[in-house]
Structure formats: structure tokens, C-alpha cells
Amino acid sequence: MKGPTMRRAWSVVRTLMARREVPRPELRCPRCRAELERFWYYCPNCSKQLVWGDVQRETGAECRYCRWVVSDSFSVCPWCGRDIADRDSSAEPLKKPKGFKYERRCRRCHGGVQYPMQWCPWCGKAQPWKYERFQNDCPHCDRGVDDWMETCPWCGRDATGRDLVRQALRRVRRLLIVSRVKDWDYRILLRPGVSGVSPAAPKVIEIDRRFVSRKRRRDEISWNMLTGLILHELGHSFLYHNWTWTRTGRFRRAFGEVRRAYRVADEHWVDFERHRVATTLVDYVSRYAATHPQEDFAETFRFYVTRRGRLRELFGEFGRKRKGVRVFEKFLVLHDYVRSLRGWR
Ligand SMILES: [Zn+2]
Ligand SMILES: [Zn+2]
Ligand SMILES: [Zn+2]
Ligand SMILES: [Zn+2]
Ligand SMILES: [Zn+2]
């Protein structure tokens, strides 16, 4: 296409585009201005409860209970699950009423549903979604959350799960302070799967939520074990955060080569309950420490912080348990480094 024909074609496209131009709905939180996705129930940043009404006059209908956008043909509000059937409701499940997208069929009635409808608008069946665009699962409702989120956009509860382990976190924080370990902005998250720290996100510490969620009562939770596990994982995080330190001769003589390949996934968690140094292996604080130089460091870090950085007390115990010189040196290396970070000598 050339010349006038081309120009005419463009003007047609422009007219079509102009006709389609409708104001986009505001996808920012009205309170804190954080970016949102449409149909989130809560702002993940400030936890404000959100309402997605028919602001663009797409369907001409809102749920009389929750005020979210619905279609006259719906029988159930897909957002709050309440019965909104009236004479306009469709007798048959539809695929895609005006103003809504067809994403898949409801497994029970085969009507069309759109992400992230929580209930089928035709038969009311609860709708599961995979929430694939999210980094992880909410520890409270299992729906998708990202690591930066404070509030779950679906259930409005703490997306990090830290509310479930307050006791352990308080203890960890206190121990770090008395051990004089400088804060490095780590972020603890309760997640399904295994506990660990990924070198790709050294400040994010994932703690396996089964230690908490599978318990029926709060007093069934082993807070000692959980505190130990968190401190061990913090050890990994601390090391990643101070990675250049691992290249120094003194560090390498004490802990060895931490770059040896392996995957950090701590499943041998039983060890983490112990406060006392194990007697079995001469050169390591615990049996688990002997599995890899990075585990050795994480375990040394855990003992150092659990015992409040009190080297004299620790060394007394090492002497009685006939630990090797290398164990003393590991703690000295860590102790000196922790002090150097605070500008001490
Ligand atoms: Zn907000
Ligand atoms: Zn509703
Ligand atoms: Zn259905
Ligand atoms: Zn949730
Ligand atoms: Zn570990």
C-alpha cells in the first residue's frame, strides 16, 4: 500500500482505535497508590479492602451485597458468593456474558468463568485457580502471593506468614541483638515446601510452614526447633550477603571451599533443636555441619547466636567435649567478622 490508500487505511485504524478508547480503570490503590491487579480483594501493600465496581459501565450491574461488577445474567456473585438470582438471571449457564472474559468452564455446570472468580456465577461452585503469575502461596489461604507482599490480596491476612511464628521471630531478633550481629534487612517468609535460602535472593529466608500449619494447637509447635531453624537459615543468608568474605584465606582455612556445588534445602531439621554442641565429630559443632562447608557455617552461626556470642562460655564447653582447634577457629573467625561489621576491632 502506498500514498492515499495507505493514508486512508491509517485513518480507518485511527477511527477504530478512537472509538475503542475507554478510560482504563484505576489500577492503583486509592490509599497508598501501590499497583494492583484487577479483582484483588485487598491491597498487598497497605491491606485496604478493595471494591471493583462497574466504573466503566460495562455491564450496568453491581452486586447488591459487595458492590463488585456482575452481569444481570449471573445467579451467584462470583466475588462474594452470595445469591443474586432474579428474573434477569440466565436459566442456562452462559459462556461469556457482556463485560466478562471467557477463561475456562466450571467443572460442575460447564458455564464460562473468568480469572479470578472465586465462585461460579451460574451454579455457585467454588473455583480453584493455579495463580501461576505469583511467586508463592499464601500461608493462610493457599492462593497466590509474591514475596514483597505484606498482605495477601485474596484473604487479607499476613502474606508472609510471620504472624504464625511471632514467638520464634521475637526470640531470633533478641538473640541477634545481644550477639551484636548487624541487621542486613533479611525477610522471613513462611512457605510450603522446604526451608532454605536461594543465592538468587539472599535476603529472602523461606521457612517450611508445615512446622506450624500441621499443628492443631499452638503449644504443639516446637519453638526451640523453629528458632534454631530460622537462625540456621539466617546463617545461610548472612553468608550470601557477605560472600566476598568467603574468599579470604582465614575464612577458607576455617570453613573450606563454600563454592562446592550443592542445593540448600534443609530437611534434616531435627538437629536444629539442640543448644548443646555435639560430641560425635571433633571438627564440627553438629553432625549436620559436616555435610557441606555452607552448612558448617550456618550451624556455626546458629550456635554463635543461640549462645549470645559468648565465646568464653562456648570455648569452655568445647574444651570439656574435646573439640578440635578448627572449631575454636571457626567461632573466632565469625566473631571477628561480626565485630568488624560494626566497626570494632
Ligand atoms: Zn494500598
Ligand atoms: Zn457480591
Ligand atoms: Zn458452575
Ligand atoms: Zn491468603
Ligand atoms: Zn542449611
Q: Which ligand has its closest atom nearest to the C-alpha of 53?
A: 2
Please report the pLDDT score of residue 267 as a whole number: 64
Please report the pLDDT score of residue 232 as a whole number: 94
Ligand 2 center from residue 57 Cα (angstroms) = 17
- Any idea what DSSP says for residue 133? T
Residue whose entry in the numeric block shows the C-alpha cell 519453638 = 223
Ligand 3 center from residue 339 Cα (angstroms) = 62
C-alpha count within 13 angstroms, C-beta hemisphere, residue 265:
7
Strand order across the 196-197 sheet:
187-191, 204-208, 196-197
Please report the pLDDT score of residue 276 as a whole number: 81
Dihedrals phi, psi of 250, to nearest 5 degrees = -65, -40
The mean pLDDT value for 34-57 works out to 96
Ligand 2 center from residue 69 Cα (angstroms) = 8
**Beta strand pairing call for 112-113 and 104-105:** antiparallel
pLDDT band at 261 (very low <50, low <70, confident <90, very high): confident
What's the grid cell of residue 310?
A: 559468648
Q: Which ligand has its closest atom nearest to the C-alpha of 152?
A: 4
Q: Which ligand has its closest atom nearest to the C-alpha of 95?
A: 3
E strand spans, 3-132: 104-105, 112-113
Q: Which ligand has its closest atom nearest to the C-alpha of 111?
A: 3
pTM: 0.82
Beta carbons within 10 angstroms of residue 172's beta carbon: 22
Q: Looking at this protein, which amino acid is placed at residue 7?
A: R
pLDDT digits (tens, 9 = 90+) for 179-229: 999 999 999 999 988 888 888 899 999 998 888 876 666 667 788 889 999
Region for residue 249 given its phi and psi (left: phi exceeds 0; alpha: psi -120 to 50; beta: otherwise)? alpha
Please report the pLDDT score of residue 247 as a whole number: 95
Beta carbons within 10 angstroms of residue 184's beta carbon: 15
The mean pLDDT value for 120-133 works out to 96
Ligand 3 center from residue 61 Cα (angstroms) = 20
Of 14-23, 80-89, 95-104, 116-125, least confident by mean pLDDT is 14-23
Please report the pLDDT score of residue 15 as a whole number: 56
Ligand 4 center from residue 161 Cα (angstroms) = 9
C-alpha count within 13 angstroms, C-beta hemisphere, residue 227:
21
CB neighbour list of residue 87: distance below 8 Å, 6 or more residues apart: none
